[in-house]
Amino acid sequence: MRNVVLNRPADIVKARTAGALAAQVLDMITEHVKPGVTTESLDRLCHDFIVEVLKTTPANLGYMDYPKTILTSVNEVVCHGIPSSRVLEDGDILNIDVAVLEDGWYGDTSRMYFVGEPSAEARRLVETTHEALWAGIRVVRPGATLGDVGHAIQQVAHAAGFSVVREYCGHGIGKIYHDEPQVLHYGQPGQGLRLKTGMIFTIEPMLNAGQRHVRTLADRWTVVTRDRALSAQWEHMVAVTEEGFEVLTQ
């Protein structure tokens, strides 16, 4: 494992700026998520907003040859869904994941959206995943461990009868998009890397309504639940501060 970067206060200011820009994209797109629109049209809106309004750089476009600005994961898609001509339908649930590069610093965040009126189970999955994200965030402080974070997330998920995807995790972020440490969304209290002031990483749990197992489609990006059950994800960037934590993508 590479050394985990400990950022100075001036660095966290830059990460906060990038995180806030990414969050603005998700705020902007909210009113456009509705039945009848395509995920490709949402991608175009986000691209133009990032470039023309925020005057910054879409970080996903071209990253490892990824072809779009945002990732759009609908229903059984766990993560990395590619925007396309797919038309959103009433009752769908959608994750939009966006990243920007501002002044050499990455901002990365994702959130869930309801398309029209979701089923009760879909709503419960989305709300529980959000609750699990915040359970993980709330244990972040100097001296805590990544095992504490993962355990907090896992407890919320399992108590609600949902499973935690294990193949994908949060990551260190700053001047490098995907850096150390890897932030697992399951774990044991007291185990794993001990957190220190200045660390910045994402927490981004993926919870499935069915089994935790996933598979990747032929496009080499789109990850779906193997049993085709619904999946949900939320993501924030978090800095470890002397007092505890700061969410950089509010």
Model confidence pLDDT, tens digit, residues 210-231: 999 999 999 999 999 999 999 9
Contact 24, 102 (CB under 8 A): no
Note the Cα 45 to chain centre separation in Å.
19
% of the chain surpassing 90 pLDDT: 99
Alpha helices in 50-145 (DSSP H): 120-138
Mean pLDDT of 110-136: 98
pLDDT of residue 2: 65
Model confidence pLDDT, tens digit, residues 162-200: 999 999 999 999 999 999 999 999 999 999 999 999 999
How does DSSP classify residue 55?
A: -
Contact 221, 203 (CB under 8 A): no
- Statement: residue 235 has pLDDT above 70: yes
**33-70 b/e (C-beta count within 10 Å ≥ 16 → b):** beeeeebbebbebbbebbeeebebbbbbbeeeeeebbb
Rg (CA), the chain: 17
> Among candidates 112, 183, 114, 121, which has minimal Cα distance to 154?
183
Q: Which two tokens stand for residue 154?
A: 């896992």
Model confidence pLDDT, tens digit, residues 44-100: 999 999 999 999 999 999 999 999 999 999 999 999 999 999 999 999 999 999 999
pLDDT of residue 1: 53
Report if pTM > 0.85: yes
